[in-house]
């Protein structure tokens, strides 16, 4: 059985376990292991564009290094 994966709208990580937001716009509360964005918590304080820009400026650091492919 194929388990569906979802894409982070911030960094493009394509292994999220749930959609960041469902069809009603409700957040998953999942934290992206790549960029570290937590759906619901972080989106009140900063836009996707601003979060991504800050993540890029800070060096594209992984929030959870163990989730990197090939590690």
The model's pLDDT over 12-58, given as tens digits with 9 standing for 90+, comes to 999 999 999 999 989 999 999 999 999 887 677 788 999 999 999 99
The reported pTM is 0.82
Partner residues linked to 26 by β-bridges: none
Q: Distances in Å between the alpha carbon of 30 and those of 1, 26, 57, 61, 70?
A: 23, 12, 23, 18, 22
And the tokens for 7? 């894409």
Q: Which domain covers residue 34, as residue numbers?
A: 1-71
Q: How far apart are CA 69 and CA 33, in angstroms?
A: 12
Domain count, the chain: 1
Model confidence at 2: pLDDT above 60: no
């Amino acid at each position: 059985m194929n388990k569906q994966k979802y894409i982070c709208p911030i960094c493009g990580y394509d292994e999220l376990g749930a959609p960041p937001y469902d069809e009603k716009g409700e957040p998953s509360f999942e934290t992206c292991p790549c960029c570290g964005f937590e759906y619901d918590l972080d989106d009140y304080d900063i836009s996707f564009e601003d979060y991504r820009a800050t993540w890029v400026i800070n060096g594209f650091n992984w929030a959870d290094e163990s989730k990197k492919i090939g590690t």
